[in-house]
Amino acid sequence: MFESAEIGHSISKADWKARVPALREALLDAQYDLKQKADFPVLILIHGFDAAGRGETLNLVNEWLDPRLIHTVAFDAPNDEARARPWMWRYWRELPPKGRLGIYFGSYYSDTLFDRSEDEIGSAELDKQIADILRFERMLSNDGALILKFWFHLSKDAQKTRLKALEKDPKTAWRVSEKDWKHYALYDKLRKHAAHMLRLTNTAYAPWAVIDGTDHNYRSLAVGEAILAAIRARLDMAHTFLPRSDSPSLPAPIDHKLLLDTLVLDQVLDKAAYKNELDALQGRLNHLTRDARFAGHSLVLVFEGNDAAGKGGCIRRITQALDARHYRVMPVAAPSDEERAQPWLWRFWRHVPGKSHTAIFDRSWYGRVLVERVEGFCGPEHWMRAYYEINDFEHQLVADGAIVLKFWLATSAEEQLSRFQAREQTGFKRFKITDEDWRNRERWDDYKLAVCDMIDRTSTTQVPWTLVEANNKYYARIKVLKTVCEALEARLDAKSE
């Protein structure tokens, strides 16, 4: 994997001086064209052996380009906030927006490589994390991101020589730390596991460039020209970049029978029985979220459903039982300009709760396969691949200890009409009804088909959908609360066994 980077590549000083001015001008032109076009981001990952020139090259790239249009992040060991969430969370948050460059100095590859080389994880966990990385990079690429990955290489002897030279010079001695020598002692293991990692993640959509780090002129020109070539190739594409879909086509049932048609929507529960059950369930939920075992978990609740199906009422009955310091409700509307410049899941990644906390989504990432699909806000290639990305996201949450529950609140068209009319006639409820709600009723059948497809594609063993018959609001609230309590009890009891 690294043989060609150990043959002594070099560029003469004269050649360097002759080539750099044109390269810098071309890089700036490409950067400004990227800003102007603003339909894809560029993510550059800097990795490799200590003393191979990673930091110097990073500084040089920032010098050659307009730093106002670059988001550079240097990752170290995760802090408490990051450790309370899925391991990829801190990388999700720092992605560059469309039209900008982002540079990761160290990244998820560093976590994986050093954990394996220091025997913090075994081979099976290494390959699991590599699979997480592959899915993440594929998702970014399908969303249009240009991913460039650089591995700065040195042989073991070359690394030792360079570290000693830096340490000997008083002007550069500060650049060599105890950690650098510790990593040198791990060189053979780092090389072995890095070769395995690079081999498995050297994909067509996110390839690695292995750079010989012995010569400053060579490595700097090699990286600069690689960045320029990749950005310019994407900018100069004769056609619009089209992502691939990760899901096959969706055939409609030939008998036209849909899952939602099988629900018995008119369930019975009177007000007195509702109040008795509500008090008991809220107390039960409060105790569960204060249980010491919950400290190793988080709770993610997703509420989707027909307009006026009672999502807000269910959410209020849940939050009444929770400590206000430990939950957050996220009402989801159309994405902002900032959010549209990022991968579509980014605005949800940033609200992933930490351990012992609860996040409640009033509407959610499922808008991609519902309203955006039905209203044509994104094409089939986008919402089709969203099924895979949603399942992957939710399973990463579960793997990190989250208890993820998803509710679809279903009403009949007649019950929805009655509630719409009641809202229009009640002064303090008029804000709940909009022209868009009335317009959505005209697409009732289209939404029903989309919902059934969504449930079939995303109701997984670990994160199933709970369908709630919501014509009776009392019944719907109790069913939701019972489901939350039972899921918490099952997960907490399973961990204590």
**Per-residue pLDDT tens for 91-131?**
999 999 999 999 999 999 999 999 999 999 999 999 999 99
Q: Report how far residue 286's alpha carbon sits from residue 282's, in angstroms, rounded to the nearest whole number.
A: 6
Amino acid occupying residue 85? R
Two structure tokens written together for 152:
């700065």
Q: What is the pLDDT, as a whole number, of residue 497?
A: 53
- Write down the residue that tokens 């320029």 correspond to: 228
In the structure, what pLDDT confidence band is assigned to residue 246 with cuts at 50, 70 and 90?
Answer: low
Start-to-end CA span in the chain (Å): 45
Burial of 420 (0-12, 13-18, 19+ CB in 10 A): middle
Say yes or no to pLDDT of 1 above 80.
no
Strands 208-212 and 146-153: parallel
Of 238-247, 253-262, 321-330, 352-361, the range with the lowest mean pLDDT is 238-247
What's the mean pLDDT in 426-433? Answer: 72
In the structure, what pLDDT confidence band is assigned to residue 423 with cuts at 50, 70 and 90?
Answer: confident
Say yes or no to pLDDT of 54 above 70.
yes
Say yes or no to pLDDT of 244 above 90.
no
Two structure tokens written together for 240:
């619009």
What's the mean pLDDT in 55-75? Answer: 94
The chain-wide mean pLDDT, for the chain, equals 93
Q: Report how far residue 84's alpha carbon sits from residue 357's, in angstroms, rounded to the nearest whole number.
A: 10
- Write down the residue that tokens 């249980």 correspond to: 291
Residues of the chain with pLDDT > 90, as a percent, come to 84
Q: What is the pLDDT, as a whole number, of residue 243?
A: 65
In the structure, what pLDDT confidence band is assigned to residue 245 with cuts at 50, 70 and 90?
Answer: low
pLDDT digits (tens, 9 = 90+) for 251-297: 777 788 899 999 999 999 999 999 999 999 999 999 999 999 999 99
CA angle, 96 then 101 then 107, to 5°:
65
Two structure tokens written together for 486:
């039972």
pLDDT digits (tens, 9 = 90+) for 315-325: 999 999 999 99
Do 211 and 152 contact (CB within 8 A), yes or no?
yes
